[in-house]
Amino acid sequence: MGNNNSTFKRKNKKIVLDKNETMDLEVGKDLKYYLPNNYEDIDRIHMFHFFQRYIYQGNFSSPIEERLMQEKCKVLDIGCGPGTWLLDLANKYEKSLFHGLDNNSIFPNEIKPSNLNFMKADMFDGLPFPDNEFDFVHQGTMAFIIKADQWTFIISEMIRVTKPGGFVEIHEPYCISKGFGPILNKINEAHISSCLQRGVDMKLLPNLDKIIKSNPNTPITYKDEKFYILGPNGGKIGMVNQDIFIGFHDNDVAMENLSPVLGISKEEYKIMMTKDLIEELKYTSPEYSLIRFWAKKIN
Ligand SMILES: C[S@@+](CC[C@H](N)C(=O)[O-])C[C@H]1O[C@@H](n2cnc3c(N)ncnc32)[C@H](O)[C@@H]1O
């Protein structure tokens, strides 16, 4: 799985990537910390997908599996990244048709199932599809990108392109700082404050169901939150998540963004991530969660 094509195009410019080389994504410098920057980030997105699937024992919570198996359903994933969720579904539900949208072409264009297509587009321009087009519209791990005042628009677009009787579903990771040691607490606060500087309010997340419900077409919204412990006290799953978490924070782009917010040097940041935090996780049990929201479109 993943992008086997090492050539990326941007504004007529061809960029050849080696492993670990930074991708020239069409985003501001500060956002690069939240987006895939190299092949290790893409590997981490794949790993996080399988982690989420394991926690929920499934790829989605909407009651649509039977339709996906039996009918020619149309499914859209917004901000699909390297297409991990879609590849997993497209292989399993061969009768259905899958579409991925992302404003960066990090999805596979050549090696992919024939029932899967990708499109480059910016979701903030509105979804480039007619009303009532899809049976299932999904979006995952986009909360670092969507500003507080953009959620209503993005959710209304998801609902607009969903057929009556179809489903919209959103997946996001979350935490309420329960069981955090002082180091993780500092990192978390820095992350929240760096998001707020861009207008992104992570604390909105548990209430996304209120935004979905406020749309007259999706009055009944379901929410399912699953909890896990980060680090060795969370067992195997905690260790897998520790790898994902450290990888997400222990890189040059994250260091550039977070060390000034933390008021420490880059060297101190590196030690914090690769030594101090790992040590702290041995004797703390920080709680994290994954949240899924889903709703049926009635009209
Ligand atoms: C953290 S990744 C999540 C990828 C995938 N949804 C997942 O759960 O594995 C966020 C993705 O959103 C994409 N993205 C960011 N801004 C976007 C925009 N304005 N329109 C479409 N996609 C966007 C990024 O390029 C990136 O692939």
230-250 pLDDT, tens digit each:
999 999 999 999 999 999 899
Q: Give the global pTM.
A: 0.90
The CATH number for 76's domain is 3.40.50.150
Both tokens of residue 136? 């299932």
Q: Does residue 2 belong to any structural domain of this protein?
A: no
Which of 35, 88, 106, 107 to probe ligand 1 with, by most ligand atoms within 8 A of CB? 35
pLDDT score, position 23? 58
Are 1 and 8 spatial neighbours (Cβ–Cβ below 8 Å)?
A: no
Cβ(283) to ligand 1 under 6 A? no
- Taking only Cα atoms into account, the Rg of the chain, rounded to an integer number of angstroms, comes to 19
Q: Is residue 270 part of a domain?
A: no
Measure the N-to-C terminal CA separation of the chain; round to a whole number of Å: 37
List, in sequence order, the alpha helices (H) in 161-234: 182-197, 208-213
Structural domain span for residue 46 = 7-228+284-296
Decide if 29 is inside a domain.
yes
Ligand 1, residues 80, 144, 153: which to mutate, most atoms within 8 A of Cβ? 80
Is the shortest distance between the CB of 138 and ligand 1 below 6 Å?
no
For residue 124 and ligand 1, the question of a CB distance below 6 A is answered with yes
Q: 140 CB less than 6 Å from ligand 1?
A: yes
Cβ of 215 closer than 6 Å to ligand 1, yes or no, is no
pLDDT at 8 over 70: no
Confidence (pLDDT) at 26: 60
| Residue type at position 68 | L
Maximum CA extent, the chain: 56
Position 30 pLDDT exceeds 50: yes
H helices, E strands: number in the chain: 10, 9
Q: How confident is the model at residue 27 (pLDDT cuts 50, 70, 90)?
A: low
When divided into structural domains, the chain yields a total of: 1
- Kindly state whether residue 175 falls inside one of the protein's structural domains: yes
What pLDDT does 4 receive? 34
Of 196, 184, 248, 280, nearest in space to 48 by CA: 248
Domain annotation covers residue 233 = no
Residue 116: inside a domain? yes
Query: Could you tell me if the CB of 103 is within 6 A of ligand 1?
Result: yes
Spatial distance between the Cα atoms of 88 and 106, rounded to a whole number of angstroms: 16
